[in-house]
Amino acid sequence: MSTLLESSVIGADPARALARRHAIVLGTALLLWFVVWMALPLRPGEAVPGDNLEQLDWAAHPAWGYAKHPPFPTWILWCFERVFMPGVALTYFLGALQVAFLLWMAWLLARDTLGDVVSWIAPLMVACITYHSIRMHYYNHNTALMTAYAGSLLALWRAITTRRTRWWLLLGLTWGVGMLSKYQMGLLIGCNVVFLWSVRHQGAKQLLGGFGLACAVASCIVAPHLLWLVQNHFPSFDYASIMLAAHLNTVDRVQAVVNFWLHQAGRLVPLVVLLAVLAWRVNRSPAQADGSPDESTLDELARGFWRIHAWGPIAGITLLGLLFGVAVENHWGMASLWAIPFWILTTARGRRWATAPAGEVWWAASTIQALVVVVYVAKAVYL
């Protein structure tokens, strides 16, 4: 496949032409990936996620809030029910649609921060995280938060690099939507703010103005929900406090955090296998590498951006568990775990692994995805 792609490159800018062809192959491969993972949960006897059923129940009476969570995912389901037949299948479709949005954001962010040559690799790596395959049919507040975070990163990056007002407005929109999806967005917004502080030397006054605009937009979006909370005596806060005010002892804190980290590691296993294959291939025959840009050419801004947004949310969750006794939930990592492949691609080793021959990258990723499918089906049949 790599030879076919390379032989078709013509014109004055072969790197961009090759990147376009990689994007076409990526789109085709992901389309097949979506078809498989949308069909598997429809097998007879497959259990329906409880969160999907909960959303269907809440969508029967749209409101500015609910007993457990903010309302945005329920609103989206309610809107789709006005056009399509309500039911479990619709929630599965919306879950897959959110994963598709995430991969689209991943591709755009990869082009902006990593360059055209390796931009196709990042979405492929994200697809190897099992949150987005095995749980593709889940539709809940965690999946909505994931898409809001992805949108916020694209808006933030372009706001910083272009200084255009529309991106600050969109940043505020994603903040507001994220807060209306799950209050955990506050931690993710905190990571955005940390990055803004890290680049304050690039024009503090202008950045402060953009930040203020984003805050104003987010406040306007969230204000009606806050009013609903006051009028209804903060029911969703009561639910959140079960975890936040758990006041675990030292042993339970460590156990909860260790379980959280182990769960995230489990979700990353296919990605780790892919990286191991790429490392082995590049180390075995470095002369056959495709010639991705050297790590030294990567903008320092991108390194800082992905370092903060890949590890900041996980570090924040860890500190909440260890320092404040919060009962850390394993699924809290879903919103941000997809950023780790981007951080990897900003490291020296990650940039080197990205030079593996494209055809072999595709074969490795396809084989890994096939194995994930086999494991998923085997567990469903025999367990």
Q: What is the pLDDT of residue 64?
A: 93
Comparison of pLDDT for 337 and 235, the residue scoring more:
337
Tell whether the model's pLDDT for residue 295 goes beyond 50: no
Tell whether the model's pLDDT for residue 116 goes beyond 80: no
Res. 383 pLDDT band, cuts 50 70 90: low
Whole-angstrom distance, CA of residue 20 vs CA of residue 15: 9
b/e sequence 314-339, b meaning 16+ C-beta within 10 Å: bebbbebbbeebbbbbebbbbbbbbb
Q: What is the pLDDT of residue 264?
A: 96
Whole-angstrom distance, CA of residue 322 vs CA of residue 316: 10
Tell whether the model's pLDDT for residue 102 goes beyond 60: yes
Tell whether the model's pLDDT for residue 359 goes beyond 90: no
Whole-angstrom distance, CA of residue 317 vs CA of residue 257: 8
Res. 32 pLDDT band, cuts 50 70 90: very high
b/e sequence 66-87, b meaning 16+ C-beta within 10 Å: beebbbbbbbbbbebbeeeeee
* Tens-digit pLDDT profile for residues 36-65: 999 999 888 788 999 999 999 999 999 998
DSSP conformation letters of 274-324: HHHHHHHHHHH-GGG---PPPGGGS-HHHHHHHHHHHHHHHHHHHHHHHHH
Res. 351 pLDDT band, cuts 50 70 90: confident
Tell whether the model's pLDDT for residue 288 goes beyond 70: no
Tell whether the model's pLDDT for residue 296 goes beyond 70: no
Q: Mean pLDDT across the stretch 286-311?
A: 71
Query: CB 39: neighbour CB atoms within 10 A?
Result: 11
Res. 282 pLDDT band, cuts 50 70 90: confident
Question: Which SS3 state, helix, strand or coil, does residue 170 take?
Answer: helix
Res. 9 pLDDT band, cuts 50 70 90: very low
∠ CA 104-105-109 to the nearest 5 degrees? 120
Query: Which tokens is 97 given?
Result: 């649609």
Query: Among 22, 90, 111, which residue's Cα sits nearest to residue 362?
Result: 22
343 half-sphere exposure, CB direction, 13 A CA radius: 14
Q: What is the pLDDT of residue 286?
A: 56
Whole-angstrom distance, CA of residue 69 vs CA of residue 352: 43
Res. 265 pLDDT band, cuts 50 70 90: very high
Gyration radius of the chain's alpha carbons:
21
The percentage of residues in the chain with a pLDDT greater than 70, rounded to a whole number, is: 90
* Tens-digit pLDDT profile for residues 314-337: 999 999 999 988 889 999 999 999
Q: What is the pLDDT of residue 233?
A: 85
Whole-angstrom distance, CA of residue 258 vs CA of residue 310: 18
Whole-angstrom distance, CA of residue 129 vs CA of residue 146: 13
Q: What is the pLDDT of residue 17?
A: 73
Comparison of pLDDT for 170 and 2, the residue scoring more:
170
Q: What is the pLDDT of residue 67?
A: 85
Detail the DSSP E strand segments found in 182-284. none
Res. 134 pLDDT band, cuts 50 70 90: very high
Query: Which tokens is 125 given?
Result: 């790596």
Burial of 301 (0-12, 13-18, 19+ CB in 10 A): middle
Q: Mean pLDDT across the stretch 121-141?
A: 94
User: How many residues comprise the chain?
Assistant: 383
Q: Mean pLDDT across the stretch 342-361?
A: 89
* Tens-digit pLDDT profile for residues 208-221: 999 999 999 999 99
pLDDT, mean over the chain: 88
Q: For the chain, give every domain's residue range.
A: 20-382
Tell whether the model's pLDDT for residue 11 goes beyond 80: no
Residue 293 carries which DSSP code?
Answer: P
CB 239 within 8 A of CB 67: yes
**What is the pTM (predicted TM-score) of this model?**
0.90
CB 123 within 8 A of CB 106: yes
CB 152 within 8 A of CB 175: yes
Query: Which tokens is 140 given?
Result: 């809940």
Comparison of pLDDT for 339 and 354, the residue scoring more:
339
Res. 85 pLDDT band, cuts 50 70 90: very high
Tell whether the model's pLDDT for residue 238 goes beyond 80: no
CB 109 within 8 A of CB 342: yes
